[in-house]
Amino acid sequence: MTESTSAPSCPMAAMCKGMTDKPKSGLVFVIPALIFVIFGVAILIAPQILAWLVGIALIAIGVAMLLFGRFMRGFANQSHGTHD
């Protein structure tokens, strides 16, 4: 008879198991998906909404980039010991 030995598991297996054990972690994907579906239906019903959504998205991305740049400047100044 042969003995069956279990192969060593993948190092990521423990982390993935922990993620799947948490039932609320699926909401991270479900909520944005529902928002995209709602926006898609809204665009089908009233195509002029697309211009507003694109405009809002571009403004939000621009603001996020400005905030990130400011954060990075502050971070760089702190690491070099200078203050703005």
* Structural domain includes residue 36: yes
Is residue 77 very low, low, confident or very high in pLDDT (cuts 50, 70, 90)? confident
CB 49 within 8 A of CB 43: yes
* Structural domain includes residue 68: yes
* Structural domain includes residue 22: no
* Structural domain includes residue 41: yes
* Structural domain includes residue 54: yes
3-state SS of the chain: helix, strand, coil percent to 5?
Answer: 80, 0, 20
- pTM comes to 0.52
Q: What is the pLDDT of residues 25-69, one digit of tens each?
A: 678 889 999 999 999 999 999 999 999 999 999 999 999 999 999
* Structural domain includes residue 11: no
**Containing structural domain, residue 74:** 30-84
